A and B are shown apart, each in its own frame.
Chain A
Amino acid sequence: MNDPVEFIRNLGRKALAEHEVKAILKHYGIRVPRYEVLEEYRPVDLRYPLAVKVSSPEVLHKTDVGGVILGVKNEEELKVAVEEIRGKFPGAAVLVEEMEKSGVEVIVGVLRDRDFGLAIMFGIGGIFTEVFRDVTFRVLPIDEDDAEDMLTEIKGRKVLEGFRGIKVDREGLKELLLRVSDMAMDLSDFIEQMDLNPVFVREDGAVVVDAKMVLR
């Protein structure tokens, strides 16, 4: 994607498909899994195992409706998976991604606050996001100190400091927050909310595994 602002300006709808969000993230130097977008089955140049997902602005919560198939091990399985998704969601694009090695799961979000405008959220992600509600917010844009504060402010801060041998690239995570800040400021006329959840944070950096965005 060359110009995310132009892309969004001309989009003509309120939600983005996952592969569109990921293309924008890539544009801002934010790491996402290697992926290809398929209209129908074809061989892909990706490393197995793969994740196969429906990628449609109409389907925001893919897992709830059976729109995600994980652990696809070979071409044969890929073919079956792609056909299954296509059968369930006719006309929708199919996103085929390399499965990422897991790490500490965090959530990074953007929201539009009534009083303060665009804000960024950061916290413990994954399936327990809404159980722990361990998140913190800053008004955008943020600077490096804000990013550091956010990492130290959550109750689960210890998992980001290395925990039971799990190593975490704190600097990479802060860099991700700053890049999300840049991106949201560029798109500030359009963006309403964004979820990057989960983001896997490992020793070798932070990777956005799932991404959703809705516009005003």
Chain B
Amino acid sequence: MMEKLFNPSSIAVVGASADPSKIGNVVLRNLKGSGYRGNVYPVNPRGGEIMGWKVYKSIPDLPDGVDLAVIVLPAHIAVDAVEECGKKGIPFVIPIAGGFGETGEEGKKREERLKEIVQKHGTRIIGPNTVGIYVPWSGVNTALTVPERSSFPPAGDIAFISQSGALGLLTMDAISPLGVGISHFVNLGNRVDLNENELLAYFAGEEHVKSVAMYLETFANGREFMRVAREFTAKKGLVVLKAGRTAKGARAASLHTGALGGADGVVNGALRQVGAVRAYDEVEIIDYARALAYGKPMFGERVGVITTAGGVGVVTTDYIEGSDPGMGLRMADLSEETKKELRKELVPFASVENPVDMTASGDESDYDAAIGALMGDPNVDGIILYALFQTPLVSERLVDIVARWMKEGEKPIVVGVIGGEYSQRMMREFERRKVPVYPSILRTVKALKALKVRGDYLRRVRK
């Protein structure tokens, strides 16, 4: 059923416009720009043609079999248009405009009417007050950002559910230069009908989706979320950025328990109980979602670090071992066999203790040997590898080596790359090969921690 939303055979755009400054035009341009290959039916009482598409004068005039209708009309007339779509039997409708529950009584009444339409016609509504959906592999893009000013990620493994439209679009724009792909983007908006729980349940069985990133300000239904999330996390990784942490719980706090910041504490507890990783900003949410989509869970807490720069290893060690902020990780004590192997393979002045420092004379075969040694060491549960391209002996071939170990190895690897243009190009290569890669030490360590949170959870539910 949800396939008709994410991979519709035809889309109606109600309120389509030939004027490039109008949202009714931007939506059409985005559809075209994303390479949507199904039928597009602009609807506008003036008729005619826009961007080569025939314009229909009204919703009843539309051909049968429209899977998705995007309503670009203002709130006061959007509701009637949604109703007409319902009567027409269109299964999914996205009313984009604001002017609903977020604005007051009048808007709340409009939302009530939308709910009635869902009840009466079985039409499913995304929004209102939403930028809708973006699905790169099917080319559906209902967003209203001007295509010249913002970019959309390519097809990938992460489904991104966002209660906020703007934050979702900004995040997608921001990750595009790295080439991070997403499988679906859904902006819940005012969430009169379709909510995060239903989507999460669907994404659990959707093959494009390897992990879900979720931005929420409120839960549609907390208990239902926990039920669905438990089923989801048994299969795939889930990251939740739950904002509004500092808003006062404002419960009638006659007792201590009520006065100790319960609301956000309970969110923390609930996320732990369902095995979701909590993110705290728009960078972390995608960082963790990439780690969970591409990487293996980390079963244990002992980290082996491979570097060619001593200082990078020292800072990493501090983050891992420091208790404030605590990462719940620790540096592995490498086995004697590993050290022997490393001594044999690496240059004589390399450090064969953890962090393994191959120094600037480390080359690609040293990296290969070091990864192999740590993969085989029973004292190591996960690997942080710094791919530092500033030294002459390391080239793009390192990406292939790491990508191969990602497939063959049984432990997770996360890669840190620090540097400018050349390094950023290498990061895009890692990302293209679905190796979780990060441009700073802290982000690299935190990504591995996300894999550890998932590993801890899986170990518990599987025991």
Chain A contacts to B: CB under 8 angstroms: 60, 107, 109-117, 119, 121, 123, 129-130, 133, 135-139, 142, 145-146, 149, 192-195, 197, 212, 214
B103 within 8 A of partner (CB): no
Asked whether A109 and B273 contact (CB < 8 A) given A117-B223, A136-B265, A137-B265, the answer is: no
Asked whether A60 and B269 contact (CB < 8 A) given A113-B222, A133-B261, the answer is: no
10 contacts between A and B (CB under 8 A): A113-B262, A115-B219, A116-B223, A116-B266, A121-B265, A138-B269, A139-B226, A193-B254, A193-B255, A194-B255
Smallest Cβ distance from B375 to chain A, in angstroms?
A: 29
- Contact mask B22-63 → A, CB, 8 Å, 1/0? 000000000000000000000000000000000000000000
Smallest Cβ distance from A57 to chain B, in angstroms?
A: 12
B259 within 8 A of partner (CB): yes
Q: Which of B204-256 contact A (CB under 8 A)?
A: 218-219, 221-223, 226, 251-252, 254-256
Interface residues on B, range: 20 to 34
Q: Is the interface of A mostly helix, strand, loop or mixed?
A: strand
Cβ-defined contact, A139 with B270, below 8 A: yes
Complex interface: chain B residues within 8 A of A114 (CB): 251, 263
Smallest Cβ distance from A167 to chain B, in angstroms?
A: 23
Cβ-defined contact, A145 with B460, below 8 A: yes
Complex interface: chain A residues within 8 A of B221 (CB): 115
Chain B contacts to A: CB under 8 angstroms: 218-219, 221-223, 226, 251-252, 254-263, 265-270, 272-273, 460
Q: A109-B260, A110-B257, A114-B251 are in contact. List 18 more A-B contacts (CB 8 A).
A: A111-B258, A113-B266, A115-B219, A115-B221, A116-B219, A116-B222, A116-B223, A116-B270, A119-B269, A121-B265, A135-B261, A135-B265, A136-B269, A139-B270, A139-B273, A142-B273, A197-B256, A214-B255
Cβ-defined contact, A193 with B219, below 8 A: no
Partner of B266, one of A139, A142, A146: A139
Smallest Cβ distance from A141 to chain B, in angstroms?
A: 10
Smallest Cβ distance from A170 to chain B, in angstroms?
A: 18
Partner of A139, one of B254, B259, B269: B269
- In the complex, A197 Cα to B256 Cα: how many Å? 9
> Which chain B residue shows the least CB distance to A142?
B273
- In the complex, A111 Cα to B267 Cα: how many Å? 13
- In the complex, A194 Cα to B255 Cα: how many Å? 7
Smallest Cβ distance from A179 to chain B, in angstroms?
A: 17
- In the complex, A115 Cα to B219 Cα: how many Å? 7
Complex interface: chain A residues within 8 A of B258 (CB): 111, 193
Smallest Cβ distance from A137 to chain B, in angstroms?
A: 4
- In the complex, A74 Cα to B379 Cα: how many Å? 62
Cβ-defined contact, A137 with B262, below 8 A: yes
Smallest Cβ distance from A73 to chain B, in angstroms?
A: 30
Complex interface: chain B residues within 8 A of A111 (CB): 251, 257-258, 262, 266
> Which chain B residue shows the least CB distance to A121?
B257
Cβ-defined contact, B256 with A195, below 8 A: yes
Partner of A115, one of B218, B261, B272: B218
